Homo-oligomer: A and B are copies of this chain.
Amino acid sequence: MADERPATTRLVAGLPATVPFVAPEAMERQRGRPFQLRLGANESTFGPSPRAVEAMRAAASEMRWYADPENYDLRAALAQHHQVSLEQIVVGSGIDDLLGLAVRAYLEPGATAVTSLGAYPTFNYHVAGYGGVLERVPYRDDANDLTALAEAARRTSARLVYLANPDNPTGSYASATALHAFRESLPDDCLLILDEAYIEFAPAEAAPPVGADDPRLLRMRTFSKAYGMAGARIGYALGTAEMMGAFEKIRLHFGVNLAAQAGALASLADADYLRGMVASVAEGRDEYTALGRELGIPTLPSATNFICFDLGDAARARSLMAALTERDVFVRMPGAPPLDRCVRVTVGMPAERAAFADALRAALAAING
């Protein structure tokens, strides 16, 4: 027994060493050169509300104190914002954190979770990490195939279905009416996780009314996208008090940064700033669409702060990625067919949009030879 040593669990031993995303910082270290345009992670390059920045600056001087583990003030503001009770909200370190809690709480090891093939990889990471089985359903017409997702959920007796609405990476959305029908078509004991990370950019009809207290619907929202606080790591789950009670039993109670809580609270109060930024993003989507038309690369309709440029096939999309990277532009390419024919680009501020248009023209010219 001389060789005996501590060993990881069988589950962890069997996990791959891959990570959900290779970050732009890692690419920069590999390249030995920084990016000049960072449009690959759908951050809001507009930044947070100036009030949120000020709140976070002020909080830097209070960092000696643990933050309130109940996130009470923020949850109270969110409860009022959504007209739900405090017990229907749990705050976490971004949707990534909350997805982990949802999988851990609701997916028995060996049970199945359904998602679209090529959808948000961090959900898949958690399903694998907690010993679940993943069932992937191809996108159809560049949108989540709700009929096929429901069929897969019924066929596999799935306990979880993950759906981003609006969707990443397509940018498409389903209406609240379609979502309601979708939920009704799932097994009764199957929980629908609705990832609404980009909801603030979408038309009102994309969001089901909050507060319906449906025991089969778990919603997730974030301050990382429209609120411009990706680096702060803060988001929240909306569901029944019973669901939130399950999260309370397993969540990291002291996991959320103090300044993040203060910044989120200030962000939420600045509706004017949000509105202005969303309007600028809508203009930017139109600019990208016109740009794509001009250059002969169609764009997918988007209800988010990013646009997919359709290069027609994966090889050409990869070539464009390489040509953009060479021009110090960080963007991303969806990993799975049929979307791997696209390059996904964040809609930034006007100056960034202009710089991207120049880079895209040059990169396309280069790959067209």
Contacts and interface: CB of A to CB of B under 8 A. Distances in A.
Interface of A: 1-2, 4-10, 12, 15-17, 19-21, 23, 25-26, 29, 38, 41, 43-48, 52-53, 56-57, 59-70, 72, 93-94, 96-97, 100, 104-109, 129, 159, 188-191, 215-216, 224, 228-233, 245-246, 248-250, 252-260, 263
B249 A12 contact: yes
Contacts of A105: 8-9, 12
Nearest to A41: B66
Contact of A230 (B15, B64, B109, B248): B64
Chain A binding site: helix, strand, loop or mixed by DSSP?
loop
Contact of A231 (B20, B47, B63, B245): B63
Nearest to A260: B257
A296 B120 CA distance: 62
A62 B67 CA distance: 21
Contacts of A53: 60-61, 63
A69 B259 contact: no
A72 B29 contact: yes
Contacts of A38: 65
Contacts of A231: 59, 62-67, 257-259
B249 A23 contact: no
Nearest to A68: B25
A214 to B, nearest CB: 10
A79 B284 CA distance: 43
A268 B229 CA distance: 25
Contacts of A72: 25-26, 29
A16 B104 CA distance: 16
A249 B129 contact: yes
Given A60-B53, A64-B46, A66-B231, A9 B41 contact: no
The 5 closest A-B pairs by CB, nearest first: A231-B258, A6-B191, A56-B60, A25-B68, A257-B257
Given A9-B109, A12-B246, 13 more contacts: A2-B188, A4-B188, A4-B189, A6-B190, A19-B248, A19-B253, A23-B66, A25-B72, A47-B61, A56-B60, A57-B61, A65-B231, A66-B231
